[in-house]
Every structure is written in C-alpha cells, then in structure tokens.
Amino acid sequence: MRIHIGTDHAGLEFSQTLQQHLRDAGHEVIDHGPQEFDPLDDYPAFCINAAKGVIADQQAGVQALGVVFGGSGNGEQIAANKVLGIRAALVWNESTALLARQHNDANVIAIGARQHTVDEAISFIDTFIAEPFSFEGRHVRRIAQLAEFEATGDIAGKNVDK
C-alpha cells in the first residue's frame, strides 16, 4: 500500500522513524515534508499535500492512506480534512484507529507526536492500515451524507440548517 506522510517540526523525527517502519513492512512511503527541522514551519501545506496525494492515488485506483503528525494532531487533522474527499480522524489509541477505518472509512489519520511514544504511534498506524472498512449499511449511509454535504452544502431530507 502507498502511505502518504505529512508533519511539522514537532513530528519530524517521529515521522522519519515511522516511515522506516512502514517501508520495512513493505509499504511505499511518500514523504510530503518537511525535509529538515525548522521550529517555525507551518503544517498546513505538508498535511494538505499528503491528503491530496491520498485522494489522487485513490482516484487512480491505487491503494493509499495517509498519516499526518504534529504536536497534538489536531491542526494536522483539520488541514487534511480541507481536501475534498478526505476523511481524517484524530487517533489516540488502537480502538480509535480501528474504528476510524471500520466505521468512517477514514483515509487519513492524525497523531499527536507529543502525546504518544513511537511504539504507540506504530501500533495505531499498523492497526489503521490493517483494518478494512466494514461496509455496514449505517456507516455507508453516513459517509454518503457527509460526501453529499461536502459537495452540495446540504443533506437531502436531513434538515441541515441553511
């Protein structure tokens, strides 16, 4: 599988270790930066580029997921979710990583590099990558509603405030 990675200075060292783990596990890793430590760098472009890479690959029929890092993972999740078609989930344990895939068909996860050890993050990522979407009806329906709102600004019959 192709895994797109984006981070900021807070997650740079973390990211490099995790990229090697993913390569050792047989995944192709695309690093969207940064390439060097800059304590004043800004995460949005790195995370948006990782998310755009995931969408481009998925649209081309390539199996791809993304992982974005930062101090807390919150801003990185928000940045990734600005890309049309991305469903990024903040994960903080194996259960949230599992449910992000099972219930939400998340295609990107965000992890707080200052919140977890490298071993914990590896566990979250491995769980996320290994878990398929359940295709359970209620989850398919909810994801379709999110996509409808993303495309139209409304969810037909669901009383979305205008």
What distance in Å separates the CA atoms of residue 84 and residue 64, rounded to the nearest whole number? Answer: 15
List active site positions.
Answer: 76, 103
Per residue of the chain (162 residues), what is the pLDDT tens digit?
Answer: 999 999 987 878 888 899 999 999 999 999 998 777 777 788 999 999 999 999 999 999 999 999 999 999 999 999 999 999 999 999 999 999 999 999 999 999 999 999 999 999 999 999 999 999 999 999 999 999 999 999 999 999 998 987
**What is the value of pTM for the model shown?**
0.94
In 3D, which of 16, 17, 7 has the Cα closest to residue 45? 7
What would the pLDDT profile of 6-31 be if each residue is shown by its tens digit?
998 787 888 889 999 999 999 999 99
Mean pLDDT of the chain: 94
What distance in Å separates the CA atoms of residue 66 and residue 35, rounded to the nearest whole number? Answer: 17
**pLDDT confidence of residue 35:** 78
What distance in Å separates the CA atoms of residue 162 and residue 160, rounded to the nearest whole number? Answer: 6
What distance in Å separates the CA atoms of residue 54 and residue 43, rounded to the nearest whole number? Answer: 17
